[in-house]
Chain A
């Protein structure tokens, strides 16, 4: 009987939390409109979540591309089609690895920082202080961080994929001796702008919204103690990683239209 009650409580709590998160997103969206006049607040956040995440994105993109080049070459060479290496590297990066790995890294590097920052503001009663001064903390603090994340992630994804292709080129053409002309021409023949590249861009925009949303909500909803902030940060990383991977499957299934 007790276990049933606990189960019920868990379900009710999570549905309630989901509802609060949705209401919160609506509020943040409303707040975002007012930021058109104070765009500098968003620029600051793009710096914090975008520029400062750049290094890890570029380094991982380069290495993911290089590994793809190495692994792909070893498999393709068995079938005598090592010339398709460029296509393999570009398609896997643009369609899947670019958006997903960037979103995961973004959740770990920028999402957790957002949650910790907002949670700490709440714990030290800065948000309450703002409300006392008739400043809406959602517009002043939350919305710029949300928008900054939404703007930064697609750009980071594009950079990740681009540098990954460079990494694949470095290993494939420079190290393993695939013909440079075949590398690029096969890639250009096989990669479609609408189907592949736009698919990746759409994914990265969706991931940007979801990861930023989870990060700011967890921060805003955190229990205002040091423990509460710690577990909120933890939840941000776990939930956004799961959400990214789950949504990735759904988006891929939708765009391929074959499931």
Chain B
């Protein structure tokens, strides 16, 4: 049987290594340091079509992530999608007349919300909503439009 001192040493080493591994997973593999939005505030936006936007998608401004989508719901009265976003409290400087649009990162990438700042001096507060929004691009509609336009061009030539 192993003696008490080295047994304690081994167990201590084991526990320390385990906790270290967990810390490595948390900080190096995961993104515990930057992901969590600190004392955030909520803003909402109404979109005609959210496309493939998902809860937890990024909300960016000038390409920098400033928050995330916290909920997507359907508005019964206006037949629009109501998107709630959690914005980091450090960025409470979004002008009131900013516009929010749903964009796609890359050709097949995830969809996210990009905020284009306006020029108003007053900024959005907790519970406010974006006045101007731009819906997601739906590929099928786009293709349909292109075909329709082409057909329209060639029709009078006949």
- Give the B-binding residues of A (Cβ under 8 A): 40, 43-44, 46-47, 50-51, 54, 90, 94, 152, 154-156, 158-159, 161-163, 165, 184, 187-189, 191-193, 196-197, 200-201
With A and B bound together, what is the CA distance between A43 and B14 in angstroms?
11
Chain A residues whose CB sits within 8 angstroms of the CB of B71 once the complex forms: none
A94–B25 touching, CB < 8 Å? yes
The residue in chain B whose Cβ has the minimal distance to the Cβ of A45 is B11
Choose among A44, A90, A159 the residue that contacts B29 (Cβ–Cβ < 8 A). Answer: A90
Choose among B4, B17, B22, B30 the residue that contacts A191 (Cβ–Cβ < 8 A). Answer: B30
With A and B bound together, what is the CA distance between A50 and B8 in angstroms?
12
A46–B29 touching, CB < 8 Å? no
Chain A residues whose CB sits within 8 angstroms of the CB of B13 once the complex forms: 51
With A and B bound together, what is the CA distance between A164 and B35 in angstroms?
23
B52 to chain A, nearest CB (A): 15
B25–A192 touching, CB < 8 Å? no
A157 to chain B, nearest CB (A): 9
A161–B25 touching, CB < 8 Å? yes
Closest 8 CB pairs of A and B: A155-B18, A162-B21, A158-B21, A158-B22, A193-B30, A193-B32, A159-B21, A188-B31
B10–A191 touching, CB < 8 Å? no
Does B19 make an interface contact (CB < 8 A)?
Answer: yes
A197–B25 touching, CB < 8 Å? yes
Does B90 make an interface contact (CB < 8 A)?
Answer: no
Known: A46-B11, A46-B14, A51-B10. A158 touches B35 (CB 8 A): no
A163 to chain B, nearest CB (A): 8
Chain B residues whose CB sits within 8 angstroms of the CB of A189 once the complex forms: 31
Does B28 make an interface contact (CB < 8 A)?
Answer: yes
Choose among A40, A47, A187, A201 the residue that contacts B22 (Cβ–Cβ < 8 A). Answer: A201
The residue in chain B whose Cβ has the minimal distance to the Cβ of A40 is B4
Chain B residues whose CB sits within 8 angstroms of the CB of A163 once the complex forms: 21
Chain A to chain B contacts (Cβ below 8 Å), 13 pairs: A44-B7, A50-B11, A94-B29, A154-B18, A155-B14, A158-B18, A162-B22, A162-B25, A163-B21, A184-B28, A193-B31, A197-B25, A200-B25
Q: What's the tally of chain B residues with a CB closer than 8 Å to chain A?
A: 25
Chain B residues whose CB sits within 8 angstroms of the CB of A165 once the complex forms: 25, 29
Chain B residues whose CB sits within 8 angstroms of the CB of A94 once the complex forms: 25, 29-30
B104 to chain A, nearest CB (A): 16
Q: Among A40, A187, A191, which residue has the most Cβ atoms of chain B within 10 A?
A: A191
Does B15 make an interface contact (CB < 8 A)?
Answer: yes
A193–B26 touching, CB < 8 Å? yes
B18 to chain A, nearest CB (A): 3
A54–B22 touching, CB < 8 Å? no
Other 19 A-B pairs with CB < 8 A, given A155-B22, A184-B28, A193-B30: A40-B4, A43-B7, A43-B11, A47-B2, A47-B14, A50-B11, A50-B14, A51-B10, A90-B29, A155-B15, A161-B29, A162-B29, A187-B29, A188-B29, A191-B29, A191-B30, A192-B56, A197-B30, A200-B25
Does B24 make an interface contact (CB < 8 A)?
Answer: yes
